[in-house]
Amino acid sequence: MENDKFEKRLHYAYTLSMITIGYNLVEGGVSTFFGASDETLALFGFGLDSFVEVLSGVGIAHMIYRMKRNPVTERDGFEVTALKITGTALYILAAGLVVGAVLAIINKSEPETTLAGIIVAVLSILTMYFLYREKIKVGEELESQPIISDAKCTKTCFYLSFILLASSLLYELWQIPYVDALGSLGIAWYAWKEGKEAFENAKSKSLSCSSDCC
């Protein structure tokens, strides 16, 4: 691969990482606002997860920036610290969502509406699919495991959006009791899974992994 073409693809990968960070910031703000105002736990938890993904995204952007200078085989101290902070935040989020879901069921709390959740989920599905497809494409062209691993993290966010969409649609259309609480538990499970993977990757420092999110 010619050096100029390599640099252009690497710059595109960096641009995709910055788009991911920017989108998650906006998504997190919108989701937590409407999640709190509409009293929908699933949307609120989804928004908090988006903010945590920003921390992970910063680590990825930093790693790609390093790749623009020299080949990267391991995570550096900044990226390891970002992973540890991300993992801790995800564990806290998972615990909070479980407690919130239990309290919602006990108190028989239901959202005022989940329309915002439907809109956010649809936009997220479209955006994350685009980012996943482009990251995989550029990662394979560059033969870069770090970028492919980042794409797999984006795919996890893609699946998470379907959980939010399903719980929001079921409640908005048929007002099924506790479906919002169940949706938040699904998000909590993914948060716990991502947190575990973050700590495992921070411990190994390796960029060659077989997990869904590296």
State the average pLDDT over residues 91-119. 95
Q: pLDDT tens-digit profile of 181-204?
A: 999 999 999 999 999 988 988 887
pLDDT attached to residue 208: 53
Residues 6+ apart with CB under 8 A from 64: 10, 13, 14, 17, 146, 147
Q: pLDDT tens-digit profile of 137-147?
A: 998 998 877 78
| 29 band by pLDDT with thresholds 50, 70 and 90 | very high
pTM for the complete prediction?
Answer: 0.91
DSSP result, 69-136: TS---B--HHHHHHHHHHHHHHHHHHHHHHHHHHHHHHTT---S--HHHHHHHHHHHHHHHHHHHHHH
Domains and CATH numbers, the chain: 3-204 (1.20.1510)
- Is 210 a residue whose pLDDT tops 80? no
Q: pLDDT tens-digit profile of 116-132?
A: 999 999 999 999 999 99
